[in-house]
Amino acid sequence: MCAENRTTEFSMVDQMIRRFESREAKIGIIGMGYVGLPLAVVLAEAGFQVTGVDLSEEKMDSLNAGKSYIEDVEDEILSPLVENGLLRGSTSFDVLSEMDGVSICVPTPLRKTGDPDLSFIISALDALKTVLHPGMVVILESTTYPGTTREMLLPEIEARGCGIGEDFFLAFSPERVDPGREDWTTKNTPKVIGGITAACTKVAAAMYGQAMENIVPVSSTEVAEMTKLLENTFRAVNIGLVNEMALMCDRLNIDVWEVIEAAGTKPFGFMKFTPGPGLGGHCIPIDPLYLSWKLKSVKYTARFIELASEINTGMPRYVVQRVQDALNEHAKALRGSKVLVLGAAYKPDISDMRESPALDVIGLLEQKGAEVSYYDPFVPDLQHNGTKMESVEDPIEAARENDIVVIITNHTDLDYRAIVEAAKVVFDTRNAVKNAGIEDEKVVVL
């Protein structure tokens, strides 16, 4: 219990800061996915003994063998950390009793009803309650609505007799992982941290400050939580705007891609966004809806968020309509046609399928009677409507055999020239063909 062996605020704060600065502190990470594993690696590289906890035995066995299951973490980086005893994996929460700091990096999806699903956070919290001890700092990284840390975690911790900012430290620090990026990583992306108290912020900053290049302290957990939602709401709204611009340009027979390129030449007051088949990834499609849901509790309608979501979630249906139109121009009905979807991951050059619009496009095409296959060099197979689909082996041969190719994800290394030459019709939702320097009348662009 935290009430045991309580010291004064300043002595405990100073003691924990010294432990983190000297690397004596041990750190646990709950949830070892796209966020947790890179975070664990960065902390281990800084000299901490790090233990990752995840219920997936497959992941933890792979981790303990020095084999990465995340593209952003290479075996050559992971293996030495495991061999030197700086990083290990476990499926047991009991190991957290040894930790001085614990980061919670579990998923926070939306339910089908649009409500936040915080069950993973609740499960992590239930496990943590049994291992709390004086000096422990807990940092929630999972994206959620403003107030979660104070309203959900704080009461449970205080009920254990823990004095927040005295013998226990609680903070929120939003993850900012963008899978596949090499310029901005877990290590050099500025790290926002907001604690329940100033002491909580100070101790949490000491923990992350030994591994991250730039710490950005803020005044509260709510500010830190809202920061993440603003970042991704900004992106979702602007993507919604440019997607609607694509719809308008189609009605007016204007090339939206040329409009965007021209607007992008302005050196101030404009930030370039591009349209596409819908939103993907864990953050942008979901985070703004957390904020919209929270605001309903104070009788406020987040109109920009809900309009952007309406436009963005409607893009897969618009793509299918455009595919149907493109086939009609070649005297083909969508029903019975063979359609090759090019790219299944939600963004280029990664295998991440979370919330990928490709799944919606495939499902809608099948509903309309199309025979759908896909090619993705990063996604050898996927689960769709309860069945397993496997990527075709040769995209050029598949392009030749299908009635239309639909480019959903613009992977860098695809041979677009060969694909276009082999295809009968191409519908390009990413302007990938033109960006590759190819002009062909058989290519229809979003």
Cα–Cα dist 134/132, whole Å: 7
The length of the chain is: 446
Q: Greatest CA separation found in the chain?
A: 80
Cα–Cα dist 16/22, whole Å: 10
Task: Give the pair of three-digit tokens for residue 339.
Answer: 């359609």
Cα–Cα dist 22/49, whole Å: 12
Q: Count of CB atoms within 10 A of residue 434's CB?
A: 17
Residue 244 CA: distances (Å) to CA of 132, 237, 286, 302? 50, 10, 19, 18
**283 among known catalytic residues:** yes
Say what the alpha-carbon torsion angle 281, 285, 287, 292 is, to the nearest 10 degrees: -170
Instruction: Indicate which residue of 105, 162, 249, 283 is catalytic.
Output: 283
Asked if residue 139 lies in contact with residue 207, where contact means CB atoms within 8 angstroms, the answer is: yes
Cα–Cα dist 376/345, whole Å: 8
Cα–Cα dist 341/362, whole Å: 8
Cα–Cα dist 284/279, whole Å: 7
Cα–Cα dist 444/28, whole Å: 50
Q: What angle do CA 95, 98, 102 make, to 5 degrees?
A: 80
Cα–Cα dist 152/124, whole Å: 12
Say what the alpha-carbon torsion angle 339, 344, 348, 352 is, to the nearest 10 degrees: 180
Point out the residues that are catalytic.
Answer: 283
